[in-house]
Amino acid sequence: MRALLQLNDNLLAEHGLVRGILGLAEPESTGDVVWDAAIAALVAWRLSAEGIPLPAWVDQQGRFLARPQTLEVDPADPVPPRSEVPDEFAERGVLAWRDTFASV
């Protein structure tokens, strides 16, 4: 989770071409399809916010879950309602709270 939040902060710190370059290279698999989908969702979310074309890897088959799942960081966390999940995460089947990625 810490690495995902750092990626979020790195993407938000940049704009335009530099943000697009940060999301261009496909990262290695984490070995967990949920986290792989979450990385793709985050990159798609942050690049789309600035109208930057998405790299092909974020839409590859392995970046979508067959059934929606949470990131399971804390079993006590409730499942977020769809209204609290960014579209790019929901499209890939990752149920992550939008607030998780709000900078504090």
Query: Hey, which residues does 70 pair with through a beta bridge?
Result: 95
Locate 38 and state its tokens.
Answer: 């979450």
The per-residue pLDDT for 103 is: 72
DSSP letters, 39-82, are: HHHHHHHHHHTTTPPPPGGGGSGGGS-SS-EE--S-TTSPPPPG
Tens of pLDDT along the chain (104 residues)? 999 999 999 999 999 999 999 999 999 999 999 999 999 999 999 999 999 999 999 999 999 999 999 998 877 889 999 999 999 999 999 999 999 999 76
Break the chain into its structural domains and give their ranges.
2-99
The per-residue pLDDT for 104 is: 63
